A = this chain, B = another copy of it.
């Protein structure tokens, strides 16, 4: 393989194109530091392989003379991938093209939240096929599948060490799925996938170091360092929900005490509320939480106290992460409005106050409300990343 240094050039150029959305070759050369001549050579290759395409001459609002630039963009039609998210009682699937455009979506209900790995592979396969038929596509038109779930997942090894969705421990889920679905499979923790979604399609575009915090029923975190999702040595980094915010504090689902999750997750709030309030007439925990939110809004001081402490604990935990990481940007990525109390101004202020003070602007904090396909889109982003990786490796220029 002499084609080794070329690969790095191709990678640089391609990711610059993706990052920019649409760029002319001149700008690619300027941004990557690669000479215009080489940019021409590389883009010609990528064009030939169909990974990118030329668009019409760009918007000439800034009338310049000279030869007009020709913008390049990722060719959406090059690949279609599926992003799937295993959650409590459903499998959400999204089909997304190489540019990130949504092609189809589908949600498949589950009868219970935890399944054996064998059951799960069958369910995932079914959900995938249902989505494909909905979109009128066949499996061989797909280039890869990304799958996310909460829990501890080793993305490199394709192992699920532990997940609330999987009955067994240490399941080689990637290979199990790969055996039934003959496509490249990519599995990861869901918070990491949201980080990738932000990196590819959201606020993280072009930001090299940022943190994404997600709240579902637990608290998750994804870390991007140097334009890459950081996964830790054992593949179980960023367990933000289980950082401790109180010595010998509240009991957590994980069996330890004082975890952040044990203060801010829905079950934690309801546990507290149950001390004074009896939600006997409300059945679902989601509705109970809603009632608690209403109570706080309505002036119930106990309910307010509960949310207040949760917010302050959240701020403390997040400030710790910032003090350790010093990211450029923190994205609070949420799906449900129920967690608004954690994103309140006073919480954000509290975070800012708890960060070590220097004479530089503090990291930016943005709140990003996604639709309910956030997770699946993240899984798709992961798949796109993997597929692009393969595509950039394999095709070795000299197709002739």
Contact = CB atoms under 8 A, between A and B. Distances in A.
Interface stretch (A55-63, A67-75, A195-203, A321-329): A321-329
Contacts of A234: 326, 358, 360, 363
A170 interface: yes
Contact of A246 (B230, B240, B246, B324): B246
A150 to B, nearest CB: 13
Interface residues of A, number: 53
A324 B324 contact: yes
Interface in A285-338: 312-313, 316, 319-321, 323-328
A196 to B, nearest CB: 18
Q: How many copies does the complex hold?
A: 2
Contacts of A393: none
A313 B358 CA distance: 25
B245 A326 contact: no
A202 to B, nearest CB: 18
Interface in A340-367: 353-354, 356-360, 363
Given A234-B360, A353-B256, A359-B170, A221 B327 contact: no
A108 B198 CA distance: 51
A103 B291 CA distance: 71
A309 to B, nearest CB: 8
A394 to B, nearest CB: 19
Nearest to A320: B243
Given A225-B230, A226-B226, A247-B316, A323 B356 contact: no
Contact of A363 (B233, B320, B353): B233
A197 B312 CA distance: 38
Given A152-B356, A258-B316, A236 B326 contact: yes
B356 A236 contact: yes
Given A162-B358, A225-B225, A360-B161, A324 B238 contact: yes
A239 interface: yes
> In the complex, which of the residues A232, A245, A356 has the most CB atoms of chain B within 10 Å of its own CB atom?
A356
A280 interface: no
A242 B360 contact: no
Contact of A233 (B209, B240, B256, B319): B209
Interface in A244-272: 244-247, 254-256, 258
A284 interface: no
Closest 5 CB pairs of A and B: A232-B326, A237-B326, A233-B328, A243-B320, A239-B323
